[in-house]
Each structure stands twice: as structure tokens, then as C-alpha cells.
Amino acid sequence: MDEMYLLNVEGVKKKILHGGHGELPQFKDGSKLTFHFQTLKDDFERTVIDDSRQAGIPMEIIVGKLFKIEVWETLLTSMRIGEVAEFWCDAIVDDPSSYKRDTWAMNKEEKLSAVPVLHSEGNQLVLLKRYQEAAAKYQEAVICLRNVQAKEKPWAEDWLSLEKLIMPLVLNYCQCQLELGEYYEVLEHTTDLLQKDNGNHPGKNVKAYFKRAKAHAAVWNEKEAREDFLRVAQLDPSLGAAVKKELRLLGERMREKHVEEQQRYQAPHTQPPVSNPQHTHILPAPSQSSTSPYSPQTHSPKPCLPDTPALLGGNCQAEPAAQPGLVPGLGITLAP
């Protein structure tokens, strides 16, 4: 089978080298995919830029997680079990020697060594208020740890040790998202942290509750925001003054919003008479039964609520059978 066709992704073409079997899998969020790949330059010699078999480790991704490499998931989920395929992506690699191995292609030791470097780089970018770039650094660090954690038994000692390293990185990521106004994303990830933590790390809980409270307040969830702020004061009494200030600001914002909505509902909107600069008309006052267009009309517009985007989730414990691999690049050969 050598038919070439386009995926539903701009700039990506697929060629099936060996057909798989069965129906196209429907991976649930949290499924772990393990596969080998090659990245090749699109030249006459088909120069190999990267090869997971030479590195000695397959690549792994978790479907549907926040910290993921989206193009890999797109390509993998287009394949059947046992399938081998090539993918062409619109990308240019001018010099193979300049190709940088991504963090997912590192071995365990390399990934663990990269985490503090990425963490420090993220912190420096925050100081410069470059929040989008800082968030990307924290995200990459989390990907490293998640890939290592995926090979550990869930909730075992090593798994929990890695989770402790992941938590501050996710909290830093959430702080960047607060600065960028991505409040619903903050709500998702802080809630996920609190559910996993289950009260085992109250010191870290405080930060997660505080950031979630700020996000709730930003999207007008007054009840939830107050509950989280009060929980922060309960867990860490030294933050009582900060919590009091946030509650005061929340109250002021809610009162302003209430007054604004009342004025919006009550204020009449009167349509002015149409004037003609060339003629002057004296109009008689309309009677009670008049339906004159100059009579005041009151409108009651509905308040606009912010849209709620779909939130990503997933349980990284699900682990189906290993799937065949693939790689974005110029020419990618994937083998099971």
C-alpha cells in the first residue's frame, strides 16, 4: 500500500508502507502510546536525522494530556495496530548538525537533568514578564517528568517523588496563565493538582487553592472564590491579611458588577426622532394609545456570560498495547 493522502492537518501528508489490522483505535484520554520512529531529511540520500532505535529507547506520549506534543498525537491516532507509515510535514531542516533532540527523545537521566535547567529558564523569563515563553519552559519540564513517571507504578514511592517535582512546575505554569488571562485553564490544572494531592501536601495546597481562587474571582464565580480564599487562610493563617485583601477586592468587584447590571436592565433606550435639515415639523404629542416611533421604549438586554472552553483532562494510568510509531519532520518512517 503506497497511496499518499492528506490528513486533516495543514501541511501533513501520509503514506502507508504496511497496512495495519482492525478498526482505527479510539484512544481514551490517558492512554499511553509507545513507538519507534525515524526522522529523515527530504533529500536524495534521505539523510537520517534522528532514530529512536539508535537512541535505544522508544518514544512515549500520553493521549489528551495538557502537556503533550500535539502533532505526534494527531499522527499516531491516524494509524491502525501493526501499521507502518511515512509522514511528510512542511518543515525545513537546513543543517542536520543543528537538529536538537527533543526532551521526549532523551533517556531517563537526561530528562531528569533537563528539568532544573528548564525550571530556571522559566523563572528568568517570568522576571522579564515574558509569560508565554516561561509557560512553555515549565510545560516542557513537566513533559520530561510525566514521561519518566509513566514508567513507574502509579502511587508507588518513585511515582509520588516525581509528582512532588511536577507540582511546583504546574503551579508556576498556572501563574503564567493567570497573567495571560487564561483563567479556565488555571481552574482545570489547579483542580487536577488538588484532586491528586488529596491533602497530603498542605503547604502546596495553599498555592493551588490561592491560584484557583484568583481564577474563580476573575470569571465571577464568587461562591467558589470565597471558599478557596477561606481555605487558604485556614491552611496558612500567616496569609490572613492577603486573603482579607482579596476578599475585599472581590466584594468590590461583585458590587460594581451588580450595579452595572441593574443600570443596564433599568435604563430606557429612547429612539430619537428622525430630523430633516430642510424642513421643520411640529409633531403633536402622542396619545396614550399612540404607537408613534418616538415613544420611549425600554429594553432589557440579557447579561453576557463568558464562554467556557472545553477543558482537557485525562488519567495517565491507562496503558493500552504499544502502538506503531511515526514522526513529524520532512520524511518520517514509523515502525512498530
C-alpha grid cell for residue 327?
514522526
Q: Is the pLDDT of residue 13 over 90?
A: no
For 161-190, write each residue's pLDDT tens digit: 998 999 999 999 999 999 999 999 999 999
Give the model's confidence band at 74: pLDDT under 50 very low, under 70 low, under 90 confident, else very high: confident
Count CB-CB contacts under 10 A for residue 165: 18
Among the listed ranges 188-192, 215-219, 272-276, which one has the minimum average pLDDT value? 272-276
Please list, residue by residue across 264-290, b when 16 or more beta carbons sit within 10 angstroms of its beta carbon and e when fewer do.
eeeeeeeeeeeeeeeeeeeeeeeeeee
Give the model's confidence band at 49: pLDDT under 50 very low, under 70 low, under 90 confident, else very high: confident
The pTM of this model reads: 0.57
Q: What is the greatest pairwise CA distance in the chain?
A: 92
Beta bridge pairs of residue 37: 334
- The average confidence (pLDDT) of the chain is 74
